[in-house]
Amino acid sequence: MSIYVTKPLMPDYQEYIEEIRCLFESGMLTNYGRLHERFRRKLKTYLGVDGIELCTNGHLALELALQTLGLAGTGGEVITTPFTFVSTVHAIARNGLTPVFCDIREDTMTLDAEKLESLITDKTVAIMPVHVYGSVCDVERISEIAERHQLKVIYDAAHAFGVEYQGKSILQYGDASVLSFHATKCFNTIEGGAAVFPSRRDAQKFRRMCNYGIVSEEEIQEIGGNAKMDEFRAAMGLCNLRGVDAAIEKRREITAWYDKRLQGIPGLTLRHAQEEVSQNYTYYILRIDPAVFGVTRDDVCRELKTYGVYARKYFYPALNEIPAYEQLGRQYPTPAAHRAAKEIVTLPLHDGMNEEHVAMICSCILNLAAAAERKAV
Ligand SMILES: *Cc1c(COP(=O)(O)O)cnc(C)c1O
């Protein structure tokens, strides 16, 4: 038996077939069809935002958000975090911008707003923080700094589907927030993504940028690409939206099973609970301090694998340690991010798991430490 870190949210087969039946009748497969627009409206209501634009995936939504806000190709600097999925930093670099790495907070592992200001230069054009694992960035402090220095803020909210702060959607902050609907995320459209802009004009431009800058049959406004979401994926979105609350509830239950067994153990740090933040329970993160726990994160991953448990090192390596960004990494040391990258593990969490699976995974981790301790004495 194998237990993977996640399992895609999927609707009932028949439900999906019903949803796509109309496409075989209409022959309208893409280009903002009926399902696209219905899905967009339902999503907007579900997330509690004033508007949302769909995209073919989260990565291109990040790139197109940079282009929509007029930042791409300016050669400016964008301050971001090295503790994220590689997409965030690639989106910056691929648009002729230079990523500048800001260290992270020890507790939430989001960009450390206290270290932000010292990295701002006359070349800085934007900040791209990440709500990593669905933990919320210091949105007020970041807004205040960005305003004072007239910088754009684009949140990578790929992990923050449905997350609320003070009872409101986290997607309302900054100049743009970008979601991913990749199969492995909290909510999926197989591949997919979306962007939320507080400005209606920006939202409309983003929508055009996803479709070659086309306004109408005879008018093309800007140099856009093709990043549309097709009808089959919109259908998947409509179906999965009906099941997402139940999936989140199930993951909340599994999270509690893990917490019960792992909290209070010296050397193990569980997710930092944030006040007034709702979670989507997509990632079960565990931080292992080898000096106290007696074994390293890598030891734990190796041991779990022998039991068919595929935990993941999200996020390792820190992105300023990979060849493409190493040079920049030296310029901006980020010790907290490097420590986190060495100590963090994401344990399996999906609705195919029961309490016995969780008990087995936790015993495996705790027994490994106990064995190491016996060997040490
Ligand atoms: C998944 C992810 C992305 C990219 O989204 P895709 O839909 O896979 O293109 C960007 N940033 C972060 C933090 C992610 O986890």
- Expressed in angstroms and rounded, the spacing between residue 267 Cα and the centre of ligand 1 is 30
> Could you give the CA distance from residue 303 to residue 285 in angstroms, rounded to a whole number?
17
List strand residue ranges (DSSP E) for 45-113, in order: 53-55, 77-80, 98-101
Q: If you write DSSP's letter for every residue of 10-48 in order, what string do you get?
A: ---HHHHHHHHHHHHHH---SSS-HHHHHHHHHHHHHHT
How many of the other CB atoms lie within 10 Å of CB of 20? 17
E strand or H helix that includes residue 179: strand 176-180
HSE (side-chain half, CA atoms, 13 Å) at 110: 26
Q: Is the pLDDT of residue 104 over 90?
A: yes
Nearest CA to ligand 1 atom 5: 58
Which of 84, 87, 179, 283 to mutate for ligand 1's pocket (most ligand atoms within 8 Å of CB)? 87
Q: Give which of 368, 234, 376 is closest to 311, Cα–Cα.
A: 368
Ligand 1 midpoint to CA 367 (Å):
34
8-state DSSP, 230: P
When mean pLDDT is compared across 26-35, 187-196, 244-253, 324-333, the lowest value belongs to 324-333
Per-residue CA distances from 103 to 216, 338, 340, 362 (Å): 45, 9, 11, 30
pLDDT band at 375 (very low <50, low <70, confident <90, very high): confident
Percent of the chain residues topping a pLDDT of 90: 96
Span from the CA of 224 to the centroid of ligand 1 (angstroms): 21
19 pocket-lining for ligand 1 (C-beta < 6 Å) = no
Q: Evaluate: CB of 85 within 6 angstroms of ligand 1.
A: yes
Give the neighbor-by-neighbor strand order of the sheet with 268-270: 268-270, 284-288, 344-347
* Ligand 1 contacts CB of residue 180 (under 6 A): yes
Question: Cβ(130) to ligand 1 under 6 A?
Answer: yes
Distance 154 CA to ligand 1 centre (A): 14
Cα–Cα distance measured from residue 178 to residue 90, given in angstroms and rounded to the nearest whole number: 15
CA of 61 to the centre of ligand 1 (A): 9
Nearest CA to ligand 1 atom 6: 58
State the average pLDDT over residues 168-183.
98
Q: Is the pTM of this model over 0.85?
A: yes
pLDDT tens-digit series, residues 180-211: 999 999 999 999 999 999 999 999 999 999 99
